[in-house]
Structure 1
Amino acid sequence: MSRVAKNPIALPAGVEVMLVANEVSVKGPLGTMKQMLSNDVVVQHEGEELLCKASNESAKADAMSGTIRALIANMVQGVTKGFERKLTLVGVGYRAQAVGDTLNLTLGFSHPVVYKVPVGVTVSTPTQTEVVLKSTNKQQVGQVAAEIRAFREPEPYKGKGVRYAEEVVKLKETKKK
């Protein structure tokens, strides 16, 4: 059995879980999320915990039990605390400005980059060089952060570009004569 699936998912106060056929829905203070289940996984609600078990002895069922357990645990955390990802803009003249559901970026191109943030993700810019993304969906926050970073990834000589706040860019030494 998957080592991840062996751990039960603790349900904090204020979180409701509905198990219907092949679907799990989690409702909490920040919203509701749903996840389709594989036929290889059985989810059991026992008291204040959820257990994910493989329905048969196949390797696929074993792998899916750990995957489904991780997805449901992320849903529980998403509807209680939410997820946040911070980006930093490094470079002279690099700026970000959040206007409604769009993010205007000045990244050294001849034109400004306008990124439309998808529904479910909120964007804020505490300073001109910081972007904060928040959502209840961990995958969606990570995808949006990766798309914004892809506009201008950090280059290896000066480190200019869009990077994650916790990212460390290893700089190369310049060419010598």
Structure 2
Amino acid sequence: MQEQKTILSEKDMARTLDRLASEITERRGDDEKLAIIGIQRRGADLAERLKDLLDSRLGRKIPLGKLDINLYRDDWTNLSRQPSINCTEIPFDIESASIVLVDDVLFSGRTVRAALEAVLDFGRPKRVELLVLVDRGHRELPIRADYVGKEVRTYEEQHVNVLVSERDEEDKVVLIKS
């Protein structure tokens, strides 16, 4: 039996994304080479929302990309099912850009490692910062987020699921215990 607890409601998610956009604006608002790349799938959805918030705050269009990291994963040959391949779209020059890499949940750090490798295949950015909606701990690699929506202490057997209206018809973050 699964036990489920909501840790961010729709209103909480909107407020959290607004705060994260403010943090980016404070740190990087003057950077003309600021760009956002969302990790497919839900990280890309969150990145689109952040882009809209930043466009409004900064009065300019922030470049947005979407990154599929499945072929860069170090565990894809061990997965019980084949990975679902999504598209990568980076319609701007990464060279010397200040990239904010967006993902929904930070756990082991392996997704971020794969994303960094994928980004570097497109060029050498000036910097890459990581933004996550939820940091649930249990790192296997020395990776940390620069922008964190919510830190949640979890047990390894728990899962954090981010639901977004673009895919799931509702916005919320739930903690699931098997």
Quickly name the TM-score band, shorter chain normalised: under 0.3
Give the number of the structure with larger relative contact order, counting CA–CA contacts within 8 Å between residues 6 or more apart.
2
What TM-score do you get using the length of structure 2 for normalisation?
0.21
Greater share of helix? 2
Greater share of strand? 1
